[in-house]
Structure formats: C-alpha cells, structure tokens
Amino acid sequence: MRTLMRKFSIVGGLVAMGVLGIAAVVPLMTGNAQVQPGYPPSGYQQPGYQPMQPGYAPAQQVAPPQQRVSPAPAAAPQQPPAAVDAQPTQTAAQKQSERPPESVEVDVSTRSVAVTSSFTGTEIVVFGTVEHSRQPTAEAGYYDVAIILDGTPAPLIARRKAHVAGIWINTRSVRFEDVPSYYAIASTRPVEEIADVRVLDQHRIGFDSVHMTPAADQAQMTPEERDEFRRAVIRLKQKESLYQKSDYGVGFIGRSLFRSTISLPANVPVGPLFTHTYLFKDGKLLAKHSNRVILQREGVERFLHNFAFGYPLLYGVFAVFIAVASGLLASVMFKKGSH
Amino acid sequence: MNFYLPIAEMSANIFIFLGMGAAVGFLSGMFGVGGGFLMTPLLIFSGIPAAVAVGTEAAQIVASSVSGAIAQYRRKNVDIKMGIVLLTGGIFGSTIGVQVVKILRQIGQFELFVSLSYVTFLGAIGTLMLIESLSTMRKARGGKAVSSRRPGQHSWIHGLPFKMRFHRSKLYISAIPPLLIGAFVGFLGAIMGVGGGFVMVPAMIYLLRVPTNVVVGTSLFQIVFVTAATTIMHAKQNHTVDIVLALLLMIGGVIGAQFGAVAGEKLKGEQLRALLAALVLLVCLRIAYGLVATPSDLFSIGSVFGGGH
C-alpha cells in the first residue's frame, strides 16, 4: 500500500510540475493582445474578390494592399458640386482640368490583431484622408465614404427546420460557396442613399450586396427560396455580431480627414481581414483603397490549434494523458484528504 | 475572467465551466455515476458546439473514471478478462460511433441525433430506475427483506457459442453478449459524449448476471479505456476535443466529486437511485422540450465539414 502511495505521489508530482509549467507560460503568452509585425505584407491579393466592372479590373487585380486606385478621368468625370447628371459646360470642364482628381488614402489603427487566450474582441479604427478635397467643411456632406471590413470568404451551409412528426428537424439546406466569414460596414449615411443598387452590388457595399453564391448542385431552388436563405444567413450572422452595419459610422473630422471605429467580436473567425474604403460623390465612385488587417492566433492558442489540426493523433493522446494524469492526481489528493 | 477556447473558438468565462464541472462532479460523486449524461447537455445548452461538447466530454470522463477504476482494482473488484472482452467490443463500437458523428455533422443532423439518443436512453433508464427505487422503498417500508439480486436464471444467452470462463465474475458464458454490449455502449459513448455506465451496469447485472460487487469496477475499467480511445479518435477524425475546456471541467469535477461523495454517504441506496432517476428524467424532459418546442429561429447556419478547412 505504501509503495503504491509513493508511486502515485511521484506521478502526482510530475503532473503538478506539468500543470505549474503551463500555468507559468500562460500569462506570458496572454500579456499583449495586439502586436505589430512588419507591414505591408508582400504580394498579397484577396482571394475571391474579383471586381466585375471592366473599367476597374486591371487596376484592382494587381492592387497590392496599400496601392490606391483612382479611376481614369474618363470613367468618372469630375462634376461641379451642384450638378448630378448634367453635362459639364465648356468652362466648367476647363476649370476642373486645373484641379487634380480626388483620391483616398486609408490606414488602420491595428494592422495585426492577435487571438490569444485572453482575446475578448477588439476595436479597429479605420482613418483616411481625401486628397485634393473640395469639401468646404467637415459637416458639408460633400463626399460619401463607405468602409467595409470583411473576412475571407468561406463556404457555409444554411439549414431550415420543419415540423416533422411532432419534432423540429433540419429539412432544407442551402450551401453557399463564398460567404464572408465577417462583414462590417460603416458609412457616412445609409448606403442606399449613397449610390444606386447596381454600383453597390458591384462593389459589395451593404448587406444586400454581400456576395453569396449557392453551390452548383442547388440550381433547382427557386429565387424566392434562395433569397429567404440569404436573408436568414445575414440575420443569423448579425445576431452573432459577425455582420455589422453602422449607417452613420464614418465621420469627417476636417475637410479631408475621416475616421470610423469597427468592433471585432471575440467570435470573429480567425483569418486575414480586409478594409475596403470607397469615396463617393453624388452616387459616383471617385476612389477606392484597400488595407489588410492580420488576424491570427498567437501564443498558447496558436500552439494548441496547430497541435490539434496538425498532429491530431498526438493531440488526442496528449488529451488522454492530461486526463489520466489529472485523474490520478485527484485520487492522490483525495486519499491524503480522507485517510 | 475570460479564456479563449482554442477548439470551440469562443471566449468563455472560466468560472462558469469550473462551476459546471464542480456541480456535475458533486452529483456524480454523490450518485457514483460518470456524469457525462449531465455534462454534455449542459455544455450544449451553454453554447459549446454539440460535436465539441461530445469530444471534450470523452476526455473529461477518462479523468473522472481513472481514479475510481484504480480504487476498484485495488479492492479486486475488477474482472479484467470480462473488462477486456467488453472493451474490445467497446472500441469497435466507438470507432463506428466516431464515423457516424462525422457523417451526421456533414448532413446537419448531429444535434437532432444526439437529442433523440438522449431522450430515448435517459427516458427509458430514468423511468426504470424510478420504478425500481420506489418499489424498493415501499417494500422496505413494509418491513420485508430486500433482496438485491435474483438467483441466476438460464436463458437463451447461455446457449451461444465461444464460451469463456470469467473467474472473478464466477461465470461461464459465451463471449458474444459481452462483446455486443461493449460495442453498443462504445457506440453510444462516442455519439452521446457519455461513459455509458448507465447502460453498462444494468446490462451486466440483468443480461450477463455479473455479480454486483464486480459490476461497478469492471464497468469503470472498460469505460476508462473506451473513452480514452474515443477521445483520441474524436481528436483525429473530427478535431473536436478542446483540451482547455476539458481541463476546466476536470478541475471543477474533481473538487465537486469529493463533496458529492461525502453527501452521498448520508443517503440510502434506494433514495439515491430515486433522486438520480428524477435527475435523469429532468434532463430527458429538457432535451425533449428542445425537440418539440417551436424554435425561435427556423434557420441555422453551420460551417462545411469534410471539404477542407
């Protein structure tokens, strides 16, 4: 009996040392939630974000994260502030040719967000400036800005329950191929007022324009049904705070400087994020700018996740080892306590 | 204090899960059951994905069973030979169970299947236990002697081939029934995130007629090995074992079980069984309600499994 006891105390001691070791490492790993490694990342292009308008395609497809994209003057003619669709007069056109076109430059407060064991969500400030701004004051409302922060598109299955034999069962399901895992939009006013649906759809601005392609094998579905599932996905994502909308979330601070705060919830899917900033004037897109925000696991989180997915068998054995060890430790402690 | 769970991918308050572990540990210490049937539904209700709850709970059951199994082994209450036959079947059943979990997750019916299994088994076993314990109480009140075990009766089970001698259980029976029982319990364990003691113990007593003194030890012995194998397979196949969550539950469970055991000593066997039966039925009803009640949202979304990450 005594030798057995000794054996268990040795096991217990080892386990205790292991647990203490982990306990000592954890605080070290969790200290700093936000780090800023080297930036910009080289040669990155967001997958699945192919623009559809030919006029913009060449510039966007090669655009690295920090490159700004200004439309060619022919694609978006400069217009006097008051006129919406009127043809510019000869003199106005001459006047405008003296002024360089607007462009937009944007950066984010946090270029790299670390998901550590203490991660409970964070906020990202997106700020930018309108180059060659013609806006007289911050309150003028001369320009419209829409800022999107979105995650990598991923396949997703939406299911609908139906009442079958007295219980609720998932009966219908739709697989969408490329749904942004996270999508936050902030704008100077509701996006519907900024531009028409065609432009919004093209740049995926607003919940109604988020890209969702049903999988190829679901062609038999009616458009109404697809829309119903689509709305459900957006509603559920909103409920989880993974889709966010802030109609007046972008504010101008001066004639050209604007900013917006976007919150990342704790359940944000880990992966690269992108900001897309669009500058509008009277429903016309003047300029666009994209940034990348790195969102990755750090420390213990990174180690455990890589362990679980990279070496699943070893991870399973390790989990059992921890379980057996803590069970033995408990039995040793219990014996000491009661006998 | 919040902690980000690496596999469940959510930020959780560690005291909630420590407390949950302690509460279930208290009950399992009091009743001498594993507590998986309480913990897995609790985890699912608290927002842990069902598959992660099941995989993680398997690891926690290893921890909570191992000390009990060793204690029983020291008291020579384990029929090793019977245990090995049971766990051979158990590992086979759990292998199938883990695959079934994978398939059910892909077609989006895993939650339904878990709920239906729980309602079926908890309902049946809870009812049987309640009837049995109530009638024992009534008889005890009537002053009659309570016989816990009927004498061995011969049934069709004794006509099966591959007979083996189980010395400690004082049995000479075919290996097929224990293999089948083991496989069935292993399958259930992998799907429901339970050790399966609540099926194994009655099956051993009433079907195999194993003497009661070795039933608990042998059942614990095989549960340790089968849930260990299940944990490894869930980790390998489904990536659903959250080690941080498991550790929180283990710590809470171990502490709770100590107090539960003390509380359990103050109650009579049949009173304990009646209370346990009531608890089992309560969990069963809660899950059944979830199946029958009109959901607040008919739609749900999930990620795609099996098609790469």
CA distances from A78 to A95, A257, A276, A284 (A): 10, 20, 22, 9
- Chosen for mutation from A5, A19, A25, A170 (greatest number of chain B CBs closer than 10 Å) is A170
Question: Rounded to whole angstroms, how far apart are CA atoms A248 and A233?
Answer: 24
* Cα distance between residue B188 and residue B182, in whole Å: 10
Supply the angle between the helices B80-107 and B110-142 in degrees, to the nearest 10: 140
Its ipTM equals 0.84
CA distance A148 to A145: 10
Are the beta carbons of B166 and B172 closer than 8 angstroms? Answer: yes
Residues of A in contact with B236 (CB under 8 A): 312-313, 316
In the beta sheet, which residues pair with residue A35?
Answer: none
Q: Do A157 and B302 touch (CB under 8 A)?
A: yes
Q: Which residues pair with A106 in a beta bridge?
A: A128
Strands of B117-260, DSSP E: 163-166, 171-174
Q: Does B138 contact A at CB distance below 8 Å? A: no
Cα distance between residue B192 and residue B125, in whole Å: 15
Query: Residue B233's closest CA among B114, B97, B49?
Result: B97
> What is the distance between the alpha carbons of residues A59 and A34, in angstroms, rounded to a whole number?
32
Which among B4, B66, B234 is the nearest to A328, CB-wise? B66
Measured between CA atoms, the residue of chain A closest to residue B112 is: A169
Mean pLDDT, chain B cut into blocks of 10 residues (309 residues total): 82 90 87 82 87 90 85 83 90 92 86 90 88 84 54 60 75 83 90 84 82 84 90 90 92 86 78 84 90 84 56
* Per-residue model confidence (pLDDT) at position B105: 85
Kindly state the tokens that stand for B244: 């941080």
**B302 — contact with chain A (CB < 8 Å)?**
yes
Give the B window 86-115 contacts with A, CB below 8 Å.
108-109, 112
DSSP string, A26-61: HHHHHS-S----S-SPTT---TT-----TTTHHHHH
Q: Which residue type is seen at A14?
A: L
Q: How confident is the model at residue A96 (pLDDT cuts 50, 70, 90)?
A: low
- Residue B67 contacts A where some CB pair is shorter than 8 Å: yes
Q: If you average pLDDT over residues A281-307, what whole number do you get? A: 90
Closest-CA distance, B60 to chain A, in angstroms, reads: 6
Size (chain B), residues: 309
Residue numbers in B near A326 (CB within 8 A) = 63, 247, 250-251, 254
Q: Does A253 have pLDDT greater than 80?
A: yes
> Could you tell me which residues come within 8 angstroms of residue B29 by beta carbon, excluding any fewer than 6 positions away?
B256, B257, B258, B259, B260, B261, B263, B264
Q: Name the DSSP class of B79.
A: -
pLDDT at A55 over 70: no
Touching check for B299 and chain A: CB below 8 Å?
A: yes
- Mean residue pLDDT of chain A comes to 74
Residue B59 is nearest to which of A159, A319, A330, comparing CB atoms? A319
Kindly indicate the confidence band of residue A185, based on its pLDDT and cuts at 50, 70 and 90: very high
pLDDT for B44 equals 86
State the pLDDT at residue A336: 52
Nearest to A308 among B4, B7, B304 (CB): B7
CA distance A330 to A8: 10
| A231 contact partners, CB below 8 Å, separation of at least 6 | none
pLDDT at B193: 83
For B300, nearest residue in chain A (alpha carbons)? A159
Minimum CA–CA partner of A334 in chain B: B258
Q: What is the pLDDT of residue B232?
A: 94
Is B195 buried (19+), middle (13-18) or exposed (0-12) by CB count in 10 A? buried
- Confidence label for A219 from pLDDT (cuts 50, 70 and 90): low
> What one-letter code names the amino acid at A326?
S
Asked whether the beta carbons of residue A157 and residue B246 sit closer than 8 angstroms, the reply is no
What's the token pair of residue B125? 């076993």
Q: Is B74 on the interface with A (CB under 8 A)?
A: yes
Give yes or no for residue A89 having a pLDDT over 50.
Answer: no
Under an 8 A CB cutoff, do A229 and B4 touch? Answer: no
Q: Do A326 and B297 touch (CB under 8 A)?
A: no
pLDDT tens-digit readout, A116-174 = 888 888 999 999 999 888 888 888 888 999 999 999 888 888 888 888 888 888 888 88
Task: Say what the pLDDT of residue A82 is.
Answer: 43
Domain-by-domain residue ranges, chain A?
Answer: 2-26+308-338, 100-296
pLDDT digits (tens, 9 = 90+) for A310-328: 999 999 999 999 999 988 8
Q: What is the DSSP string of B9-64?
A: TEEEEHHHHHHHHHHHHHHHHHHT---HHHHHHHHHHTT--HHHHHHHHHHHHHHH
To the nearest whole Å, the CA of B145 is away from the closest chain A CA by: 33
**Token pair 């217009």: residue:** A79
Side-chain half-sphere exposure of B230, counting CA atoms within 13 A: 41
**pLDDT-based confidence at residue A15 (cuts at 50, 70, 90):** very low
Cα–Cα distance measured from residue A245 to residue A262, given in angstroms and rounded to the nearest whole number: 9
